[in-house]
Amino acid sequence: MIRLKDTKFPNTAEFLNNAIKVAEYYGFAPLDEMRLMKEKDQKLRAAREKSESEIMIARRDERALLSTARRCAAAARSQRALGQGEHFLAWRMSQGQGTVPQQTLELHVVGSSGAIAEAILLVVASAIAEEAGLAERTLSINNIGSFESSNRFVRDVGTYLRKHIESISPTLRPRAAEDPLGTLVQLIEKGHPAAPRAPQAMEYLTEEERRKFWELLEYLESFGLAYELTPSVLGSRDCWAHSLYELSMTDDETGGRLSYAFGGRYDPLVTRYAGAHTPAVMIAINVEIRGKTTFKRAVPALPAIYFAHLGPEARRRALPVLETLRRAEIPVHQSLLYERIGEQMAKAKELATPYILIMGYKEAMENTILVREVATNSQDAVPVDDIANYLKRRRMGVWRSEVRA
């Protein structure tokens, strides 16, 4: 949990004001304002809700994810029914889980199976923490693979726990046979001496899963976001698959780490409610409740610029450029979740933006970006380091906003 005394904000509302402003710059919209389509088959819906009792919960914060997963699944059904695209970015406020009163800001990317989805979440979470003034932050990341590949991991965890069953508390022993992974999570949280020597999930990944995981790490390295590969970051397989991550900060009083955010890819959970395979990834940022809590959203005017990328290298280089533009308060539309340039150009046309920023492989290698004026089709190649000043000099992007409760 983020303690406000460690930030520059005097109360919870001010922290949330800024955090939501950062998220909405990257395209996140309120989940509670999205259209939610209910499951038409009532029997199927009832069966899914009943099956919730069968979900293995390894972490306390996973239980709160159930209701949000239902909402995201309903929003995904609505998107498909209305032909509004396969993916969306959403934020939602929820009550934090813990002994100290706290608020949780959840960020979700639904509909994208690519590593760019996790990368966007971690970049946004990093920007929120940096603007809050949090120092000595640590990103711990792990990968538990698909259900099939993690079966071997869980099997070996079960074998390992049986060998150390005498050292496990009697109250936890029955769970070891039924839910080895949840038991291991409990042992890690309690600091059990056998936990560090347990099997590690990343050792069981297939070659394809390793390739996809390294793709995520390449995004983080391109952005300059430091990370640690941490086998102890785990969660229930009924909720999560593939990537899991935890954000923490250094406690100046004790020198230890304070976890303030957790998330990962929760395809298994949202797919259960959606009725069809639905990729989804999220992060939950926890902040203590202190002082004023009612936040106001600063809603920016529609951007005059659309950012388009061509190819994987350009997409990796795009994240630092977007963060530069955000800090310069130059609003842009972006569709980093799109794979093809044609989709992006169609979106730019739909939005009727007068300017388009284009980064392809050549520009990524030369550290430049094309600035195209749609009306004349003229364009300039601008160094990435000068792009914010270039746009400001020509008044191509001005941050204007109105406030609403």
> 399 pLDDT exceeds 70?
no
Comma-separated ranges of CATH 3.40.50.800 domains in the chain: 297-404
Residues sharing a CB contact under 8 Å with residue 31, sequence separation 6 or more, in sequence order: 68, 71, 72, 75, 90, 91, 92, 106, 108
Alpha-carbon distance values, 3 to 213, 262, 285, 347, 375 (Å): 32, 16, 12, 40, 49
Which helix (H) or strand (E) is 14 found in, with range? helix 12-25
Please, what sign has the CA dihedral across residues 162, 165, 169, 173? positive
Q: What percent of the chain has pLDDT over 70?
A: 92
| Domain 297-404 CATH assignment equals 3.40.50.800 | yes
Instruction: Pick the most confident of 16-20, 298-302, 393-397.
Output: 16-20
In terms of Cα–Cα distance, which of 40, 35, 55 is closest to 236? Answer: 55
- pLDDT confidence tier of residue 214, bands split at 50, 70 and 90: very high
> 81 pLDDT exceeds 90?
no
Is the CB of residue 180 less than 8 Å from the CB of residue 157? Answer: yes
**pLDDT tens-digit profile of 229-266?**
999 999 999 999 999 999 999 887 777 888 999 999 99
> 401 pLDDT exceeds 80?
no
In terms of Cα–Cα distance, which of 287, 113, 100 is closest to 215? Answer: 113
Is the CB of residue 28 less than 8 Å from the CB of residue 88? Answer: no
342/328 Cα distance (integer angstroms): 28
Alpha carbons within 13 angstroms on the beta-carbon side of residue 177 total: 5
> 397 pLDDT exceeds 70?
no
Alpha carbons within 13 angstroms on the beta-carbon side of residue 87 total: 20
| pTM higher than the cut 0.85 | yes
Instruction: State mean pLDDT over 4-13.
Output: 92
Alpha-carbon distance values, 213 to 18, 225, 307 (Å): 31, 15, 26
Residues sharing a CB contact under 8 Å with residue 141, sequence separation 6 or more, in sequence order: 216, 217, 227, 228, 229, 230, 233, 243, 244, 245, 246
57/40 Cα distance (integer angstroms): 28
**pLDDT tens-digit profile of 338-376?**
989 999 999 999 999 999 999 999 999 999 999 999 999
> 405 pLDDT exceeds 50?
no
> 47 pLDDT exceeds 80?
no
**Per-residue pLDDT, 43:** 55
Is the CB of residue 117 less than 8 Å from the CB of residue 307? Answer: no
184/156 Cα distance (integer angstroms): 12
Is the CB of residue 220 less than 8 Å from the CB of residue 138? Answer: no
Is the CB of residue 281 less than 8 Å from the CB of residue 380? Answer: no
Summary mean pLDDT of the chain: 90
Is the CB of residue 106 less than 8 Å from the CB of residue 283? Answer: yes
> 328 pLDDT exceeds 70?
yes
- pLDDT confidence tier of residue 86, bands split at 50, 70 and 90: confident
**The 3-state secondary structure of 102-120, one letter per residue:** EEEEEEEEECCCCHHHHHH
Neighbours of 162 (CB within 10 A): 13
**Per-residue pLDDT, 69:** 92
263/394 Cα distance (integer angstroms): 40
Comma-separated ranges of CATH 3.30.930.10 domains in the chain: 4-145+205-288
In terms of Cα–Cα distance, which of 281, 388, 255 is closest to 331? Answer: 388
Q: Which two tokens stand for residue 337?
A: 């979740």
**Per-residue pLDDT, 402:** 39
SS3 310: coil
> 311 pLDDT exceeds 50?
yes
Lowest mean pLDDT among 266-280, 290-304, 311-325: 290-304
Parallel, antiparallel, or unpaired: how do β-strands 280-288 and 243-250 relate? Answer: unpaired
**Per-residue pLDDT, 40:** 63
What residue type is assigned to position 175 of the chain? Answer: R
In terms of Cα–Cα distance, which of 33, 35, 26, 38 is closest to 89? Answer: 26
Is the CB of residue 97 less than 8 Å from the CB of residue 60? Answer: yes
**Any idea which architecture 4-145+205-288 has in CATH?**
2-Layer Sandwich (3.30)
**pLDDT tens-digit profile of 109-121?**
999 999 999 999 9
Residues sharing a CB contact under 8 Å with residue 396, sequence separation 6 or more, in sequence order: 304, 305, 330, 355, 371
Buried-state track 214-253, b at ≥16 Cβ within 10 A, e below 16:
ebbbebbebbebeeeebbbbbbbbbbbbbbbbbbbbbeee
75/113 Cα distance (integer angstroms): 17
**Per-residue pLDDT, 294:** 86
> 404 pLDDT exceeds 50?
no
